[in-house]
Structures are given as C-alpha cells and as structure tokens.
Structure 1
Amino acid sequence: MKRTYVTDFAITLYVILFSYTSGSKFLDIDQFARDMEKQPFNHIVTEGLTWGVPIIESLIVLALIFPRYRIAGLKAATGLMLLFTVYVLLVILRMFDKVPCSCGGVIRSLNWEQHLVFNLFFVALGLFGLGIQLKKPVLKFN
C-alpha cells in the first residue's frame, strides 16, 4: 500500500466520523445540551462545549477536505480524539461520579470500554497517517 493511501484512509475515516457526530449533535442540539449539562464540568464550560464541540468537529472536517489544510486537519482530528480518549479513560477510572455519554448518533450506544477501543483506533490511525505523511520529503529531486 502506498504511503499516501494510509494517510488518505485516515483522513477519510475522520471526515466520516466527524461529519456524522457533528451532524447528529447539530440535528438534536437540545438533547446534546441536556447531555452536556450532566457532565462533571462547570455550567459555563458545558454551555460553551455544547456549541463548541460540533463546531470544532465541523471545522476539522472542512480542514480535512481541502488539500492545503489536510495535515493540519489530521493533526487537529487526532488531537481531539486524544482528548476524548483521555476523558474516556478518566470515566473508566471513575474519576467522575456519574457521566452520561454525550456522543452523537449511534456512537452513544457504546459502553465506556467500547468507546476506549473505538477512540484508540482513531488515535492510532491518525498518528500512523501523520507519521507516514510527515516522513515524506518536502522536495523531490528526480
């Protein structure tokens, strides 16, 4: 498999994932807001996250779509998934009392351990795609 195919595969999966999750959050923003209010964060933080998370996911999708911004988008997507993964680990380690899933769509039906595996897959995919892409020479002299 060519090196660019791995990066393109990672980008494609991130576009699908974040398009789906941001879209489902926007389509049912009231439910997402209720879910966010149950999170173990300050009310002001959850209010900002209610709109901030789907907006950031949408901006990442836009970055991933445009070739000029793809690598920055892949870095942002991987970073966001890493943050989500740390949060899931904290939930699994019972650092919070009660935490409902505020993910969008069918992903909300995963239990926390399944979330962890799902997130780790996307983090690994993003890191692998970035690692391959960043090893490419900037200039080719043929």
Structure 2
Amino acid sequence: MIATFITYIIAATFALLWAYIAVPKLARLKSFGRILGSQAIPKWTVPILTWLIPLLEICAVCLLLFPETMLLGLYFSFGLMLIFTLYVSGIIFQIYDIYPSSSGALFKRMTWRKHLKVNIGLTCIALVGVLMEQFNLFRN
C-alpha cells in the first residue's frame, strides 16, 4: 500500500514537472525554437525538436495520469530525464563547440552543475518509480 502511494507520488511529480515545462514551450513556440537554435544541436533538428520536445513531455503527462499507462509514463519519464541528463553532462564536460543557455524556467537560475545534480536526482527517482511499478517492489 505504501509502495503504491510512493509510486503515485513519483508519477504525479513527473506529471506536474512535464506539464510545468511543456506548456510554456507550446505557448511560446517561436521563442522556444529560437532558444533551441542557440543550443548545441544540429540546426536541421531545431524545427523538429521545437515541436517534438514539448509534445513528448505532454505525452508523458497523459501517460502518467492513468493507472493503466502509468508504468509506460514512468519509463518515458526515465528516458526523457536520461537524455536531458546526458545532454547537460555534455555541456559540463565541454563535448559541444558552443556553451548554450538554459531554456527551462525551472533551471534558468541554476548553474549547469546544479542542473546536472537535479537531473541525476530526477533520473534516479524515475528509475525507482519504474522499478517499484514494474516489479512490484516493496509491496506486501
């Protein structure tokens, strides 16, 4: 019972997080596209990612809202967090030629190192949610 509650808290946390960061992107799509254009990504991907990133985040929200799809939403959240964490790691370890600015309102005032720590923490939390839901860990 407690494990189910914890899994629901994790799912709700990610649903709120994805909604919080996706809605402003969709509301200001041109601005988000310009921000993406300044990132360390191939320019041809900018128009695709301008739509794809917030739509994937909204998909994650939808999946996390229903018990039947929550596990898929948790996997989705883990995957998105892992990708974003790897991207921020690349920034910190100077893998890219340019040093982009942070685009998320939540992360705008954070240093890249703090951003990485938060991302690692969220990635681990998503993984815990996946494991708890997938394998019914800690359930009686």
- Give the direction of change, closer, same or farther, for the CA distance of 1:112–1:87 in structure 2 (3 Å limit): same
Match of 1:118 in 2: 118
Greater Cα shift, 83-92 or 4-13 = 4-13
- Distance in structure 1 (CA, Å) of the matches to 2:5 and 2:68: 17
Q: CA deviation at 1:102?
A: 4.7
| CA–CA separation in structure 2 for the residues paired with 1:129 and 1:97 | 35
Deviation at 1:130, TM superposition (A): 1.4
Aligned to 1:12: 12
Quote the Cα distance in structure 2 between the aligned partners of 1:103 and 1:17: 14
Deviation at 1:15, TM superposition (A): 0.6
Query: What is the match of residue 106 of structure 2?
Result: 106
Question: Which consecutive segments of 4 or more residues in structure 1 shift more than 4 A?
Answer: none
Partner of 1:28: 28
What corresponds to 1:61 in structure 2?
Answer: 61
* TM-score in terms of structure 1 length: 0.89
SS at the partner of 2:53? helix
- Give me the whole-angstrom Cα distance separating, in 1, the residues matched to 2:105 and 2:112: 15
CA contact (8 A) 1:11 1:64 kept: yes
Matching of residue 78 in structure 1 with residue 78 in structure 2: yes
Unaligned runs of 5+ in 2: none
Bigger CA drift: 44-53 or 106-115? Answer: 106-115
Deviation at residue 41 of structure 1 after TM alignment? 1.9
> Displacement of 1:96 after TM fit?
1.1
2:52 alignment partner in structure 1: 52
- Give deviations 1:56-113, integer Å, cap 9, x for gaps: 0001100111221110011001110000000010100001132323533232222211
What amino acid does structure 2 have at the position aligned with 1:38? S
C-alpha RMSD of the superposition: 1.8
Number of residue pairs the alignment of both structures matches: 138
Task: Give me the whole-angstrom Cα distance separating, in 1, the residues matched to 2:13 and 2:106.
Answer: 16
Q: CA deviation at 1:24?
A: 1.4
What is the CA-CA distance between 1:33 and the residue it aligns to?
0.8
Query: Percent of aligned pairs with the same residue?
Result: 28
* CA distance 1:10–1:31, shift in 2 (3 Å): same
